[in-house]
A and B are shown apart, each in its own frame.
Chain A
């Protein structure tokens, strides 16, 4: 009691070792590491769920899942876990760790709220998984369309769906608190000289993402409360049997969940935009264009939600088609700016750059195959088939997950003071790159051949056998690629090469402090006169070519 001094002086809140420190910390760096670690745990769990799905689909016939409802639980929980407990919090974790460092701040604006935001997540995860031991987890798909998600026979009877709702409410609340924290931090706590247009692009993407979260997530949380009332207290918001509207759920759900795609991709784009310049030894090409493109994606992102609903017959198709096509423009601007950052650079092929290049080449496919669905009549053929599964994984795995691993290899030295092994990193990259494409590319053909999503079995004469087998083999290859990563982390934490302050010759402020940084981050800050203060420090103003 007497020893718990208020966390006002660096000395008092210094790095105490042990579990107690991790459970009670309000240091943004430790909370960031907690976010990242927690997200990886759910990444592995979500991956196991996906392996269950792929194993069952490897061959026609029901081989492994005697209880077919379990199959629906598997893909429902896979989608839910990967989106809400892996990608979104993982990127929040990187934002938590890196953003205060990059803007020269000692911590987030509201450290205790920051801790609260994090601790809601493991709780939400436990609630979601509790469904498996209380009569079945949620099984209505991660989209939980009503009336299937209603409490009725052949709907979603039992606590699993309610646990899903409550879990998502917690995650949504965590996101909203986090976004306010980021916005205040970015607007109020930048170091002297760190003007808005000198902020690293990662900070810009976290800023725009936070605005998206703040505007979209409350819509989802209210919809979840309404669904909870429908299920438990006789409400009839989304249940046509009682005068409600089934399509209304889709509107409010996607009003959040489409911007959520940008919530899951923009910070990954920001990470790529930090990594490409460092490993090509050039500034980011078109910094301001990048900022405007990010803001443009954020704004347009609110006008495309109904492109998930083209086949409902209940939306004004041309508007959403046009907006969906248009959002390709700022995304394309980014792509060209990234490529021209590499162009005439001097590229060092360290593992972060490999994953960043994986992001570029795979996200490109995810952007292009999205254009097919923007053409509404083509979407009539592709919607709810495996084509869409291919598309969303090229965006969220080919994009976000490759971006996340680029970030892990890039900032692990800053977080731990030790380098990850390059050899194992490259093995992981090659396995993951091949496994990813082997899993998801054949799904384009499966979708065109008419295989719908979310089926546990298919006819052996439908012509889908080989493609499904290939996808399953690829899935296990992805799983295998995680093993060298885990081994790499384990070995590096014990005996990795010491990183030093700035192992990559970085550009931004986090490389101007020690690895790991001290409490409150900086003993003193270098002068900030461009978006690359540490580059300026190393090469002088002459080197920056201003």
Chain B
């Protein structure tokens, strides 16, 4: 028919706007994404992560081809078949084509089936767990701390690291060895996530204490690297602070580190203490929110954490404006300790749990 459209720019037609907008967007995106290396994940630090990255690359290539073909088809059709001014003739009224329908049902089905098969294969490799891993780490998530227990063959913890609000211990891991992680939570759902592993696993609370298990092997080239880790499942007020560092080590360095970590550091020597107060934490709350000590002399707080194991607390002292005066080491649920504080000037201070900065764990310390 006479439906061949004009190639000249039709005044008032808006396709040029669309094109212009697309180009502008494309340019801006190119600039901003270029700054981080863009649309690929970081180099994988684990053998499993490398398989995931390879799978990503295959999916990406297929996706990019589909994107350019279909998006190109849209843009081309839009430019090619715009209506000329004054053209009132109807285009051919085609209602469909069964052969075409079959084609664009079958071909995508084949593509997604292929993608499913290769991702299932990768999944089996990534999920593989060995009967006797070379290193086993129990990961305990709590609001808002990670506890990493290094287990011996019998499942007993031989060394422990705690990171609360992103501060404290580290997750040291050897390269080139199979590392089994057994994760669980003591309160809400968290997620163990190390971007460079290209992997995360939800850290679920379970009434029966069941753990979720996965295994990773860090590549040798990553010895000496420090990798960021972070909770990836919203877990409350301190969610964003629930970070940790993975220190990848050579096997020799890891052995040495583990021996050092097994020796629990002795408590700090205490000076002469004037007043000693008692404080109990239970159900994420102190038993009192008002404490009083004399000015100008050291004092101590005997602190009893009666919450469940895995829920850590401490008793920091801050000025009213938030400046930290005393930063204490948190203790695990079910344990107690004595914190010793230096002399303070008269005035009002805040004592609080730095892991749980909530009203029920924020009190007033009056020094007079």
**A342, CB-defined interface residue at 8 Å:** yes
**A348, CB-defined interface residue at 8 Å:** yes
Expressed in whole angstroms, the minimum distance between the Cβ of B173 and any Cβ of chain A is 17
**B277, CB-defined interface residue at 8 Å:** no
Cβ-defined contact, B25 with A438, below 8 A: yes
The segment from A47-55, A331-339, A489-497 that touches chain B is A331-339
Known: A339-B70, A430-B21. A240 touches B90 (CB 8 A): no
**B234, CB-defined interface residue at 8 Å:** yes
**B132, CB-defined interface residue at 8 Å:** no
The segment from A19-27, A31-39, A308-316 that touches chain B is A308-316
Cβ-defined contact, B74 with A339, below 8 A: yes
Q: Which of B29-72 contact A (CB under 8 A)?
A: 29, 32-33, 35-36, 38-42, 49, 51-52, 55-56, 59-60, 63, 66-67, 70-71
Residue of B nearest to A539 (CB): B90
Cβ-defined contact, B74 with A357, below 8 A: yes
0/1 string, A278-291, CB within 8 A of B gives 1:
00111101111100
**A543, CB-defined interface residue at 8 Å:** yes
Expressed in whole angstroms, the minimum distance between the Cβ of A450 and any Cβ of chain B is 3
Contact residues of A: prevailing secondary structure: helix
Q: Which one of B35, B83, B94 lies within 8 Å of A466 (CB-CB)?
A: B35
A contact residues around B63 at 8 Å (CB): 368-369, 371-372
A contact residues around B108 at 8 Å (CB): 328-329, 332-333
The range of chain B's interface size is 35 or more
Interface centre among B55, B212, B239 (most CB of A within 10 A): B239
Cβ-defined contact, A452 with B119, below 8 A: no
A contact residues around B219 at 8 Å (CB): none
Known: A148-B189, A333-B101, A333-B105. A325 touches B112 (CB 8 A): yes
Residue of B nearest to A289 (CB): B101
Q: Which of A137-156 contact B (CB under 8 A)?
A: 140-141, 145, 147-148, 152-155
Cβ-defined contact, B28 with A155, below 8 A: no
Known: A72-B237, A339-B73, A371-B63. A434 touches B24 (CB 8 A): yes
Known: A288-B96, A348-B83, A354-B14. A384 touches B116 (CB 8 A): no
A contact residues around B143 at 8 Å (CB): 154
Cβ-defined contact, A377 with B33, below 8 A: no
Q: Which of A157-183 contact B (CB under 8 A)?
A: none
Q: Which one of A354, A364, A438, A455 lies within 8 Å of B18 (CB-CB)?
A: A354
Cβ-defined contact, A455 with B284, below 8 A: no
Residue of B nearest to A360 (CB): B74
Q: Which of B199-232 contact A (CB under 8 A)?
A: 199-202, 204-207, 212, 214, 228, 230-232
**A467, CB-defined interface residue at 8 Å:** yes
Cβ-defined contact, B95 with A283, below 8 A: yes
Residue of B nearest to A75 (CB): B234
Expressed in whole angstroms, the minimum distance between the Cβ of A300 and any Cβ of chain B is 12
Expressed in whole angstroms, the minimum distance between the Cβ of B25 and any Cβ of chain A is 4
Q: How far is the CA of A343 from the CA of B123 in the complex (A)?
A: 41
Q: Which one of A148, A313, A371 lies within 8 Å of B235 (CB-CB)?
A: A148
**A121, CB-defined interface residue at 8 Å:** no
Q: How far is the CA of A411 from the CA of B308 in the complex (A)?
A: 60
0/1 string, A313-333, CB within 8 A of B gives 1:
110011001100110110011
Residue of B nearest to A147 (CB): B188
Expressed in whole angstroms, the minimum distance between the Cβ of A192 and any Cβ of chain B is 23
Cβ-defined contact, A240 with B52, below 8 A: no
0/1 string, B81-107, CB within 8 A of A gives 1:
111100101111111110011001100
**B130, CB-defined interface residue at 8 Å:** no
Contact residues of B: prevailing secondary structure: mixed
Q: How far is the CA of A267 from the CA of B52 in the complex (A)?
A: 36
Expressed in whole angstroms, the minimum distance between the Cβ of B119 and any Cβ of chain A is 4
Expressed in whole angstroms, the minimum distance between the Cβ of A49 and any Cβ of chain B is 16
Known: A332-B104, A545-B93. A377 touches B55 (CB 8 A): yes
A contact residues around B24 at 8 Å (CB): 434
Cβ-defined contact, B52 with A437, below 8 A: no
Expressed in whole angstroms, the minimum distance between the Cβ of A477 and any Cβ of chain B is 11
Cβ-defined contact, A336 with B104, below 8 A: yes
Cβ-defined contact, A445 with B36, below 8 A: yes
Interface centre among A322, A345, A441, A467 (most CB of B within 10 A): A345
Known: A289-B96, A462-B228. A381 touches B198 (CB 8 A): yes
Cβ-defined contact, B115 with A371, below 8 A: yes
Cβ-defined contact, A282 with B94, below 8 A: yes
**B122, CB-defined interface residue at 8 Å:** yes
Cβ-defined contact, B81 with A384, below 8 A: no
**A241, CB-defined interface residue at 8 Å:** yes
Cβ-defined contact, B35 with A467, below 8 A: yes
Cβ-defined contact, B199 with A467, below 8 A: no
Q: Which of A229-245 contact B (CB under 8 A)?
A: 240-245
**B5, CB-defined interface residue at 8 Å:** yes
Known: A72-B234, A377-B51. A445 touches B21 (CB 8 A): no
Q: Which of B237-260 contact A (CB under 8 A)?
A: 237, 239-240, 243
Cβ-defined contact, B116 with A153, below 8 A: no
Q: Which of B277-314 contact A (CB under 8 A)?
A: 283-285
Cβ-defined contact, B91 with A281, below 8 A: yes
**B78, CB-defined interface residue at 8 Å:** yes
Cβ-defined contact, A349 with B14, below 8 A: yes
A/B interface sample: 25 pairs, CB < 8 A: A69-B237, A145-B234, A148-B189, A153-B284, A153-B358, A283-B94, A286-B97, A313-B214, A318-B116, A321-B119, A325-B112, A325-B113, A328-B108, A335-B70, A339-B77, A347-B83, A357-B74, A364-B74, A369-B63, A371-B63, A371-B115, A433-B25, A434-B24, A437-B25, A448-B38
Additional pairs, 10, CB under 8 Å, beyond known A342-B77, A426-B17: A240-B204, A280-B91, A285-B97, A333-B104, A340-B97, A346-B83, A346-B90, A426-B14, A452-B232, A455-B239
3 nearest A-B pairs in the assembled complex, by CB-CB distance: A450-B195, A545-B93, A153-B284
